[in-house]
Amino acid sequence: MRPLDFDSDVPVYEQIKQQVTFGIARGSYPPGEKLPSVRGLAKKLLVNPNTILRVYRELEQAGLVRTWRGKGVFVSDGAHALCFGAGTEAVERALRDALELAQQAGVKPRALDALYRRLRKQQDAGVSS
């Protein structure tokens, strides 16, 4: 998991939930895989265990994981398809926001395309901006 941004406007539990959801979408957590324990993940991320409980509870309500008392939390069958859609929706929202910002800033479509290609090339090369 990536480090959390405790200064972000996005609540910590939402950041964790998104990381787990996208991990399922990428296949990092395949169906049937046991997720980290509540205490273990809380310790690793330096958050209250109740935060992880909330994340796991919401993921379970969404049908992405199943909790087996005494055994742990496991990725549900079919979770990948649900998570992939959530990832696509999140990217679309971010792109819409970026396009709106570009329009407000007066960035022309050609310059925006060039910026995208440059950033994509850096991303593919593993270079941070």
Please state the separation of Cα 118 from the chain's center in Å.
24
Residues 19 and 68 in one domain: yes
Which pLDDT score, from 0 to 100, does residue 86 have? 75
The answer to whether 29 and 20 are in contact (CB under 8 A) is: yes
The answer to whether 26 and 1 are in contact (CB under 8 A) is: no
7 in a domain, yes or no? no
Residues 16 and 76 in one domain: yes
Residues 28 and 50 in one domain: yes
Domain count, the chain: 2
- The ranges of the chain with pLDDT < 70 are 127-129
Which pLDDT score, from 0 to 100, does residue 45 have? 95
Which pLDDT score, from 0 to 100, does residue 127 have? 63
Which pLDDT score, from 0 to 100, does residue 126 have? 79
Domain span at residue 106 reads 89-125
Q: What would the DSSP string read from start to end of 32-93?
A: TPBPPPHHHHHHHHT--HHHHHHHHHHHHHTTSEEEETTTEEEEPTTHHHHHHHHHHHHHHH
Which pLDDT score, from 0 to 100, does residue 84 have? 75
Residues 103 and 48 in one domain: no
Residues 106 and 66 in one domain: no
pTM for the complete prediction?
A: 0.72
Which pLDDT score, from 0 to 100, does residue 128 have? 55
